[in-house]
Amino acid sequence: MGETLQTLGIQWPKLIAQTINFAIVLFVLWKWAYQPVLRMLELRREKIAESMAQAERIRAELEATERQRQEILQRAHAQAQQLIEEARQAAARLHAQETQRAVATAEQILAKAREAAALDRARMLAELKREVGRLVVQTTAAVTGKVLTPEDQRRILEEATRQVAA
C-alpha cells in the first residue's frame, strides 16, 4: 500500500494542494458560470412562460373580440332588416294614403266639373229661352204686324219658353 502510494507520488501536501486547486476551480465555475447561467436560464424560462401566458390571453381576447364582432354584425343586420321592413311598410302605407287622396281629389275635381257644366248648361238654357222668346216675340210682331202689348209679349215669351224647355 505504502509502496503503491509512493510509486504514484501520492503525498499529503500534494494531495491537499490539489484538493485546494480543485476547490478553486469549483468556486470559479460556481461563481462565474453556474450561478449566472442558471439565473439566466431561469429568467428565460420565466419569460417564455410569461410570453406563452400572454399569447394565450391575447388569443382568448381575440376570440372574445371576434365573437363580439359577430354578435354586433348580426344585431346590425337584424336592425337593418327591421328598418328596411319598416320603411317598406311606411312606403306602402304612404302610397295607399296618397292614392286615396288622389282619388278623392280627382272625384272632387270631377264633381266640380260636373257642377260647373250643369250650371253652364242651365245658364245657356236660360239664355237660349230668353233669346228664343225674344225671337218668337219679334217674329210674332213682324208676322202679325201689330204692336204687341207687354201682356202679349209676356204670354208669348212664357209659351215659347215652355215649348223650348219641353
Partner 1 sequence: MLRKGFTPALALCVWLLPWWATAAGAGSHHGTGAAPPVSPDAPVLFHVGPLPVTNSMVYTWIIALVIFLVVRLGTRRMQEVPSGIQNVIETAVESLEELTKGLLEPKVARWTFPLVATFFLFIVVSNLMGLLPGVGSIGWGPAGGGPLGVEHVDRPLLRPPTADANMTVAMAAVFFIMSTWWAIRYNGPVGLLKHIFGVKGGMTGWIVIPLSLIFLFIGLIEVISICIRPVALAMRLYGNIYGGESVLTIMLTHSPLGLGALPFYFLELLVAVVQALVFTLLSIAFIGTLCSHVEEEGHAHGAEH
Q: Summarize as ranges the residues that interact with partner 1 (CB under 8 A).
A: 7-11, 13-15, 17-19, 21-26, 28-30, 32-34, 36-38, 40-41, 43-44, 47
CB of 46 to partner 1, least distance (A): 11
CB of 50 to partner 1, least distance (A): 13
CB of 28 to partner 1, least distance (A): 5
Q: Report the residue number, 41 or 106, with the smaller CB distance to partner 1.
A: 41
Q: Report the residue number, 8 or 143, with the smaller CB distance to partner 1.
A: 8
Q: Report the residue number, 36 or 102, with the smaller CB distance to partner 1.
A: 36
CB of 52 to partner 1, least distance (A): 16
Q: Report the residue number, 35 or 163, with the smaller CB distance to partner 1.
A: 35
Write the secondary structure of the chain as one string of H (helix), E (strand) and C (coil).
CHHHHHHHCCCHHHHHHHHHHHHHHHHHHHHHHHHHHHHHHHHHHHHHHHHHHHHHHHHHHHHHHHHHHHHHHHHHHHHHHHHHHHHHHHHHHHHHHHHHHHHHHHHHHHHHHHHHHHHHHHHHHHHHHHHHHHHHHHHHHHHHCCCCCHHHHHHHHHHHHHHHHC
